[in-house]
């Protein structure tokens, strides 16, 4: 068996993990499955593409690759801007859509349906703005380096794995060591108690949208850089994202990341062992198995 | 009597828009009082205090804290303005540690003052100080209640409202809780206490209010109520001054 599936799996898994951290945070605090979360990955990638394009237009030097990577300074700069813009997009969707349902105390199923609608609208808008033709951050080719043990990876791939690791550790520290992190966990456990403990619940909800969208943007850019950018980029990851959030245990940041890596590795293994057409089935099988055997996931709290 | 520190005027509140549970309550507490709120099960005591804290929608009427209208102030702002509330159940963050529960409580203070505030709470509740990294969900009923009260006292509030803090505790712990409430009140904090434990509550109260069907049915000094057999029988489920079965 070719050990390269490990590298493929880690990369797919890091993308899934970052998206799943967003899903697990929004689910645990907003208390509904946001099926529009995948669209935040796609929007993140396209927003970065658009900003990078604009930067390249202003100064061609910004597109000159920074050795050993395949992209120029335009990409990291646009990534930072796109993270902010994706966060604002999520806040706008919440303000226009979900917050009015929350105020009315609407049932969860209504929120879920609304998120389906938002997902469709956001995806169609992307196809309208950017067409459904795949796009790329860079056309430069990269030579994979030998890592030993039969593993190979491009500098881009290694960098992205590092970025994912830093992002998850940062979010984990934020959740466990800071006021806003404790406030998020408090709201996730008991919003009414949180409010009388002095926590501004609406501010926490805004923070969660922004944070989830920021991670989605990073995942989208990763996927765009290492694979390609398509309007369906995020939508096609929806099942793995939810499978990872549930496998990791709703509300657990390290759990979501670890579960994302597990799912990515299982997918890559399945592709090599039985064929690429089985990739999509992996998340489904894992999701059902977790729901049947251990519904609270690896790190979830017993309820 | 001093000016009221907390008052409601024609307060109507309930969970559904067309179903008032609190049906027009004019009520006030003066600074330094320990008022006990009694009444049969389902009278609306919890709904009333939750409405004051901002957890139940207000349909009509107003409420004032320290001369300021707080009717439509959000719950977390009320906390910052000095109104502390300890709900009857789920009053600590069970998935978080003792220390984290208190860190949340002092988050309104400037960073430099938080450590001292937590130390002061630990000095006051030594049981909690023993192992601050314990999960609140793993504490005994009495310790949980202590943590809930410590959380509420973190910002030195002028007013604290407690909803049946003695419910479900063993008799020994119940008397500790009442001693603690008495001490808190003696320290200058105005206390509004909802209780089923009529006798013990009347023993420490400076005034008693009886709620029935969402309205004030009776108000008076504790000793009057304790000795009024009619009041006991009708509103408190007690007779001859004996305590009724706690719900
Ligand atoms: N969360 C809730 N939603 C709807 N109705 C409630 C809720 N909590 C209590 N009630 C209703 O409000 C009424 C008063 O309850 P409550 O305020 O808990 O009374 P008490 O604390 O005096 O026993 C009861 O009829 C109860 O069924
Ligand atoms: Mg009650």
Quick one: pLDDT at residue B241? 42
Show the low-confidence residues of chain A (pLDDT under 70): 1, 302-303
For CA atoms B148, B154, B155, B157, the dihedral sign is positive
Q: Does A45 map to a domain?
A: yes
Token match 């995942």: residue? A219
Nearest-ligand number for the alpha carbon of B44? 1
CB under 8 Å to A241, separation ≥6 — which residues?
Answer: A16, A19, A20, A23, A37, A38
Q: Does A76 map to a domain?
A: yes
The conformational region for residue A270 under phi > 0 = left, psi -120 to 50 = alpha, else beta, is alpha
Sketch out chain B's domains with CATH numbers: 4-92+158-236 (3.40.50.300)
Cβ contacts (< 8 Å) between A198 and chain B: which residues?
76, 79-80, 104-105, 107-108, 155
Cβ contacts (< 8 Å) between B17 and chain A: which residues?
none
pLDDT band of B245, cuts 50, 70, 90: very low
Task: Please identify among residues 123-162 of chain B the ones whose CB lies closer than 8 Å to any CB of chain A.
Answer: 151, 155
Instruction: Render A122-156 in DSSP notation, one character per residue.
Output: HHHHHHHHH-SS-B-S-----PPEEEETTEEE-HH
Q: What gap in Å lies between CA A80 and CA A197, rounded to an integer?
A: 34
Does residue B1 carry a pLDDT above 70? no
Quick one: pLDDT at residue B236? 61
Q: Could you give the count of Cα atoms lying within 13 Å of A80 in the half-sphere of its Cβ?
A: 5
Quote the number of domains for chain A: 1
Q: Does A239 map to a domain?
A: no
Task: Please identify among residues 8-37 of chain B the ones whose CB lies closer than 8 Å to any CB of chain A.
Answer: none
Q: What is the mean pLDDT of residues B103-107?
A: 97
pTM above 0.95, yes or no: no
Q: What is the mean pLDDT of residues B122-132?
A: 94
pLDDT band of B244, cuts 50, 70, 90: very low
Quick one: pLDDT at residue B237? 61
Q: Does A240 map to a domain?
A: no
pLDDT band of B235, cuts 50, 70, 90: low
Q: Does A21 map to a domain?
A: no
Best probe of the B interface among A189, A193, A300, by most B CBs < 10 A, is A193
Q: Does A40 map to a domain?
A: yes
Quick one: pLDDT at residue B243? 45
Range of the domain at A160: 31-233
Q: Does A266 map to a domain?
A: no
Cβ contacts (< 8 Å) between A192 and chain B: which residues?
55, 75, 87
Instruction: Render A153-209 in DSSP notation, one character per residue.
Output: E-HHHHHHHHHHHHHHHHHHHHHHHSHHHHHHHHHHH-HHHHHHTT--HHHHHHHHH
């Amino acid at each position: 068996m070719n050990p390269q599936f490990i590298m493929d799996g880690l990369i797919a898994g890091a993308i899934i993990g970052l998206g799943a951290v967003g899903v697990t945070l929004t689910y645990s605090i907003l208390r509904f499955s946001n099926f529009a979360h995948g669209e935040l990955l796609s929007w993140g990638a396209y927003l970065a593409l658009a900003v990078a394009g604009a930067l390249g237009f202003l100064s061609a030097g910004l597109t000159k690759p920074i050795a050993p990577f395949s992209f120029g300074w335009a990409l990291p700069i646009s990534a930072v801007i796109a993270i902010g813009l994706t966060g604002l997009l999520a806040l706008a969707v919440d303000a226009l859509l979900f917050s009015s349902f929350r105020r009315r105390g609407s049932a969860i199923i209504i929120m879920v349906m609304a998120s389906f609608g938002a997902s469709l609208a956001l995806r169609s808008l992307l196809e309208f703005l950017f067409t459904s033709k795949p796009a790329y951050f860079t056309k430069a080719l990269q030579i994979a380096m030998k890592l030993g043990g039969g593993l190979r990876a491009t500098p881009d791939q290694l960098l992205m794995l590092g970025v994912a690791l830093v992002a998850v550790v940062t979010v984990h520290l934020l959740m466990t060591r800071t006021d806003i992190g404790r406030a998020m966990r408090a709201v996730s456990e008991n919003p009414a108690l949180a409010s009388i403990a002095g926590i501004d619940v609406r501010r926490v909800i805004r923070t969660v949208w922004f944070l989830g969208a920021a991670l989605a943007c990073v995942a989208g850019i990763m996927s765009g850089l290492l694979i390609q950018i398509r309007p369906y980029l995020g939508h096609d990851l929806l099942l793995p994202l939810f499978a990872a959030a549930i496998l990791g245990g709703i509300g657990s940041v390290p759990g979501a990341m670890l579960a994302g890596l597990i799912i990515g590795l299982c997918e890559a293994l399945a592709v090599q062992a039985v064929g690429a057409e089985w990739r999509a089935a992996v998340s489904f099988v894992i999701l059902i198995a977790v729901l049947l055997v251990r519904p609270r996931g690896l790190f979830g709290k017993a309820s | 009597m001093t000016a009221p520190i907390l008052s409601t005027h024609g307060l109507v509140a309930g969970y559904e828009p067309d179903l008032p549970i609190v049906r027009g309550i004019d009520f006030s507490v003066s600074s330094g009082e320990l008022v006990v709120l009694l009444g049969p099960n389902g009278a609306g005591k919890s709904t009333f205090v939750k409405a004051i804290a901002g957890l139940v929608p207000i349909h009509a009427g107003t409420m004032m804290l320290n001369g300021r209208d707080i009717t439509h102030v959000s719950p977390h702002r009320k906390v910052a303005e000095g109104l502390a509330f300890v709900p009857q159940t789920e009053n600590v963050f069970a998935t978080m540690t003792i220390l984290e529960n208190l860190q949340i409580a002092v988050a309104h203070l400037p960073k430099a003052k938080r450590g001292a505030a937590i130390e002061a709470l630990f000095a006051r509740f030594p049981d909690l100080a023993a192992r601050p990294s314990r999960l609140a969900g793993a504490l005994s009923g009495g310790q949980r209640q202590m943590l809930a009260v410590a959380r509420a006292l973190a910002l030195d509030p002028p007013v604290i409202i407690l909803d049946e803090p003695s419910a479900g505790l063993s008799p020994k712990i119940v008397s500790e809780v009442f001693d603690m409430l008495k001490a808190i009140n003696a320290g200058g904090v105005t206390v509004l206490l909802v209780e089923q434990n009529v006798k013990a509550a009347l023993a420490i109260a400076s005034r008693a209010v009886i709620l029935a069907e969402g309205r004030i049915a009776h108000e008076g000094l504790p000793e009057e109520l304790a000795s009024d057999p009619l009041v006991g029988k009708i509103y408190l489920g007690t007779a001859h001054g004996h305590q009724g079965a706690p719900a």
